[in-house]
Chain A
Amino acid sequence: MNYFLTEEQTMIRDLAAQIAREKIAPIAAELDESGEFPWDVVKAMGMADLYRVFIPTEYEGLGGGCFEMVLAVEELSRACGGISLSYAASALGTIPIILFGTEEQKKKYLPPLASGEILAAFGLTEPNAGSDAAGIKTTARADGDSYVINGTKQWITNGGEASIYTVIALTDPHRGVRGSSAILVEKGTPGFEFGKKENKMGIRASATRELVFQDCRVPKSNILGKEGMGFLVAMRTLDQSRPGVAAQAVGIAQGALDKAIEYSRERQQFGKSISSFQGIQFILADMATQVEAARALTYAAARSIDAGEKDVSRASAMAKVFASDTAMKVTTDAVQVFGGYGYMKEYPVEKMMRDAKITQIYEGTNQIQREVIALNLIKESVRGARNAAATK
């Protein structure tokens, strides 16, 4: 389908596809097994300027936005949803700096993030604060010119590998979420350690770790935005990053579809290739249709964000829900097309099915996303009714 990409966007897509083909695909199965962090690929992506695409030109980026990030994530994820996450999670960690950073913070962190020399990460989730993000317990107590951070963040992607972390902590615990703030913490700051590396079902080449803060002292100038804005920083960041998760899901689904088509042509049963059976054809046709619909919604959400649309929560949540549910369904169907071989680790689709599952869970479960969409619909309806009453 033609999505009317500019020449530059086509370049980004093609280059990401080349990296996926030449650098990611050959090592995807091995890293899924070992769980090793893909630094070689990160280096290659950096040299290819891929981290620059969503960073403003003033800070050594190429000045693109969410859509350019989405194009890259999709192509990378087609080869491996775990390796591509090292890229997508760094984008998630970079977005709050782009949106809320001071000139000084941007000048310090964005150029090395743009070159891929360092990675970023984002720390919101805690052991007892997942969907209920307002339940965070990590504190950042003001002390002179510093904040002193205490608490534990859980399941942080790029944890231990990233150099710069945006951490949401309570600067005024009495005020709940209104007392939260977003604070930049550099790796290596005394009192900032990493917990165990999680042993995950899928996306195993990504690093998922705890961030442990024990009297970790950072200068007050590390705050993003103002005190009390932490939750706003987090929500605005996630609104912009969710199309990235959607793109990861689209990429994983497309990768599974590619493999299913290829295999159905090769696999012979009853004296012919299984692609000649209508039962298989219908599965493939549905898979392709769903992937294309997910892609279209994801691109539309990303483009709305880049167009400066004021409220992007709904579009962004819709893209994330639909694309991730599609990825789960399509990868499961791909395993079905492969039959018994699909269940075996020697073939690539069982990994894709495992990788797909997380996209329904992280950056807000799909149930939370549906709540966002529904509340948005109801609010809009109430507003419409009020306006109609006022003009009568």
Chain B
Amino acid sequence: MKVIVCIKQVPDTTNVRINPETNTLVREGVQSIINPFDVYALEEGVRLKEKHGGTVTVMTMGPPQAESALRDALALGADNAYLVSDRALAGADTLATAYALACAIRKLGGADVILMGRQAIDGDTGQVGPGVAENLGISHVTDIRKIEEITDSRIIVERLLEDGYARLATRLPVVLTVVKEINIPRLPSLKGKLAAKKAQVPVLKAGDIDAEVERLGLNGSPTQVMRIFTPTRPSGGKKFTGDAAATVGALLSELTAAGISIRKSKK
């Protein structure tokens, strides 16, 4: 079984600060980590290998320093790593990123299963996984909480829904994005870290992945960031207290007065 796990290096913080001048994240003084959801994807990939044999390749697209995230992934059990990195790829939105990753995956001969986290904690779009699948012309399932069964051609998975889960079967190859319920990732081992330190991490340039140049980086990105800002929190509000029937009535008449129409439920 050939598994490719796509990861992203993100700032290790929940307290993201934005430079108002440049509309970009302030990265100074913030450590970088593997996007936490991608760690679950990597763990699932390593578990597939342990159960069914094969290899786990980890891949990221990013600046040269993203190599450290790949080394962390090697310490967590990946067999080899590729860094897709080129100035021509800079400024890519999710469309251009998915295209570049798909080209790199195709260049490496594809995979039976391509795993990713459900979204990155910095961008929160969740679009790259499905985007890669579309570019490769293969199926995808998002928000996987369990891989139930996998054979040479077929896979059965559980997809997390808001109020339960769906059990789905699809063909291989497939792109799966995972949620954190899927497993408990292992810690790195010292042996793994020592080996990762010495490992070769090949860099794939834009010219190495048989891509159409105009679909890469800023050129291939229809998304333009106009401005990033912290929304102001609405303050004030009004509290209705007292008997339930009376307060609901008061609330309804206030809403109606404010021009908000209330429809009655059909039930």
Measured CB to CB, the closest approach of chain B to A43, in angstroms, equals 11
Please indicate the chain B residues that have their CB under 8 angstroms from the CB of A49 in the complex.
Answer: 189-192
A53: CB under 8 A from chain B? yes
Please indicate the chain A residues that have their CB under 8 angstroms from the CB of B190 in the complex.
Answer: 11-12, 15, 48-50, 52-53, 62
- Which of A8, A19, A47, A50 touches B194 (beta carbons < 8 Å)? A8
Dominant secondary structure at the A interface: helix
Please indicate the chain A residues that have their CB under 8 angstroms from the CB of B197 in the complex.
Answer: 7
B188: CB under 8 A from chain A? yes
A221: CB under 8 A from chain B? no
Q: How far is the CA of A7 from the CA of B71 in the complex (A)?
A: 15
Residue of A nearest to B186 (CB): A47
A367: CB under 8 A from chain B? no
Dominant secondary structure at the B interface: helix
Chain A 1-38, CB within 8 Å of chain B: the 1/0 string?
00000011001100100110011000000000000000
Which has the most chain A C-beta neighbours within 10 Å: B187, B190, B192, B197? B190
Q: How far is the CA of A376 from the CA of B91 in the complex (A)?
A: 68
Decide if A62 touches B191 in the complex (CB within 8 Å): yes
B171: CB under 8 A from chain A? no
Measured CB to CB, the closest approach of chain B to A53, in angstroms, equals 7
B193: CB under 8 A from chain A? yes
Decide if A11 touches B193 in the complex (CB within 8 Å): yes
Interface size counted on chain B using CB atoms at 8 A: 10
Chain A 55-84, CB within 8 Å of chain B: the 1/0 string?
000000010000000000000000000000
A201: CB under 8 A from chain B? no
- Which of A11, A18, A62 touches B187 (beta carbons < 8 Å)? A18
Measured CB to CB, the closest approach of chain B to A7, in angstroms, equals 7
Q: How far is the CA of A132 from the CA of B39 in the complex (A)?
A: 53
Measured CB to CB, the closest approach of chain B to A186, in angstroms, equals 27
A129: CB under 8 A from chain B? no
A44: CB under 8 A from chain B? yes
Q: How far is the CA of A48 from the CA of B187 in the complex (A)?
A: 6
Q: How far is the CA of A52 from the CA of B192 in the complex (A)?
A: 13
Please indicate the chain B residues that have their CB under 8 angstroms from the CB of A47 in the complex.
Answer: 186-187, 189
Please indicate the chain B residues that have their CB under 8 angstroms from the CB of A62 in the complex.
Answer: 190-191, 194
B174-194: which residues lie under 8 A (CB-CB) from chain A? Answer: 186-194
Decide if A15 touches B188 in the complex (CB within 8 Å): yes
Residue of B nearest to A23 (CB): B187
Q: How far is the CA of A50 from the CA of B188 in the complex (A)?
A: 11
Residue of A nearest to B197 (CB): A7
Q: How far is the CA of A44 from the CA of B184 in the complex (A)?
A: 12
Q: How far is the CA of A7 from the CA of B193 in the complex (A)?
A: 11
Measured CB to CB, the closest approach of chain A to B73, in angstroms, equals 16
Measured CB to CB, the closest approach of chain A to B235, in angstroms, equals 24
Q: How far is the CA of A53 from the CA of B190 in the complex (A)?
A: 9
Binding site for A on B (CB under 8 A): 186-194, 197
Cβ contacts A to B, 6 pairs, < 8 Å: A7-B197, A19-B187, A47-B187, A47-B189, A52-B191, A62-B190
Q: Ordered nearest first, which 6 A-B pairs have the shortest CB separation? A: A49-B190, A49-B189, A48-B187, A49-B191, A48-B189, A11-B193
18 additional A-B residue pairs with CB within 8 Å, beyond A48-B187, A62-B190? A7-B197, A8-B194, A15-B190, A15-B193, A19-B187, A22-B187, A23-B187, A47-B189, A48-B188, A48-B190, A49-B191, A49-B192, A50-B190, A52-B190, A52-B191, A53-B190, A62-B191, A62-B194
